[in-house]
Amino acid sequence: MILSIESSCDDSSIAITNIETKELIYHKKISQELEHSAYGGVVPELAARLHAEALPKILEECKEYFQDLKAIAVTNAPGLSVTLTEGVTMAKALSLSLNIPLIAVNHLKGHIYSLFIEKKEQFPCTILLVSGGHTQIIEANNLNDMRVIGSTMDDSFGESFDKVSKMMGLGYPGGPIVQEKAKTGDNEAYDFPIPLRQSPKIEFSYSGLKNAVRIAILKEEENQNLNEQTISNICASFQKTASDHILMKLKKYFKVNPPITFAIVGGASANTELRSRCEKLCETYDCPVLLAELKYCSDNAAMIGRVAVEQYKNSDFISINKIDVKSRIKESTF
């Protein structure tokens, strides 16, 4: 079995995965959403302190499995340096004290393998990764052959939901809150500009849309009109435009590179509008859409353990002196 640790942002999570069967034996996650909600976003130092409390608590529950462990896996990049360090420090200590190898796992590969928890991988696959830190289209052939086709130039899809929510004081994380408010809103009430509409490139940007939403909110505040209904209308119009942007780029990309299998991963893949619109687009290509179970969309150690099983089979270990945390990784390949 492999024990895996995830602490790249505001979720403390540990999992235990059977190497042979890929079965998830144990999985626990302690989220910090409540603690960060008052600030409208993740406060890195607070997150690190909460990991330092939560991870040992979870580890205590795993002691019965220690004798069966063959490796320790941990997310080391990308993420918040101070929070990654909490997980990596624990992983190093465990590797050293149990005298078993250490596996460094890329968080983005983790999100991709959230599709395959307790399942066989399905490649090649065109992947839309939408999280709090990333918006990317990736062509994946296998674990070690993944190519980033397009990324965001500024904010990510999920992050833009967090910021829109913060602007209206709705709380954190913004994704589920804005999605819920949007249900009772008119998505045509505001005509927000679709980002990079004219650009032929496959790339994303959310800063302009975020600014347009900010101006709309200010206007409604000035007119003392920022009530429940206008908030819902802003959320619905924003959500539609945020998805329009992705759908436009996907259509452009698919025209030249029709997908064989398509997948949406990452915390923001929980967005139902984005999911259903992507599914509709893929129907026209007769292309199946893979989605992770909702509980594995946001950050978790089960997905890290699933990648680690493959790395274990490839003897892809790292020495405890060599592992370091990286807040960013090279964007073009990983």
Contact between 267 and ligand KG4 by CB under 6 A: the answer reads yes
230 binds, among Zn ion, ligand KG4, none (CB under 5 to 8 A by kind): none
* Contact call for residues 111 and 266 (beta carbons, < 8 A): yes
Q: How far is the CB of 298 from ligand KG4 (least distance, A)?
A: 3
Nearer to Zn ion, 159 or 299 (CB): 299
Of positions 86, 155, 159, 310, contacts ligand KG4 by CB under 6 A: 159
Contact between 298 and ligand KG4 by CB under 6 A: the answer reads yes
Q: What are phi and psi of 57, to 5 degrees?
A: -60, -45
232 binds, among Zn ion, ligand KG4, none (CB under 5 to 8 A by kind): none
Of positions 117, 196, 209, 268, contacts ligand KG4 by CB under 6 A: 268
Of positions 179, 230, 237, 243, contacts ligand KG4 by CB under 6 A: 179
* Contact call for residues 242 and 157 (beta carbons, < 8 A): yes
173 binds, among Zn ion, ligand KG4, none (CB under 5 to 8 A by kind): ligand KG4
Q: How far is the CB of 267 from ligand KG4 (least distance, A)?
A: 2
Of positions 17, 76, 95, 131, contacts Zn ion by CB under 5 A: 131
Q: How far is the CB of 268 from Zn ion (least distance, A)?
A: 9
Stretch that binds Zn ion, among 32-40, 68-76, 223-231, 297-305 (CB under 5 A): 297-305
Reading the block at residue 54, the tokens are 């939560």
Stretch that binds Zn ion, among 44-52, 67-75, 152-160, 295-303 (CB under 5 A): 295-303
Contact between 113 and ligand KG4 by CB under 6 A: the answer reads no
270 binds, among Zn ion, ligand KG4, none (CB under 5 to 8 A by kind): ligand KG4
Site size toward ligand KG4, by CB under 6 A: 20
Return residues touching Zn ion (CB under 5 A). Answer: 131, 299
Return residues touching ligand KG4 (CB under 6 A). Answer: 9, 131-133, 158-159, 161-162, 173-176, 179, 266-268, 270-271, 298-299
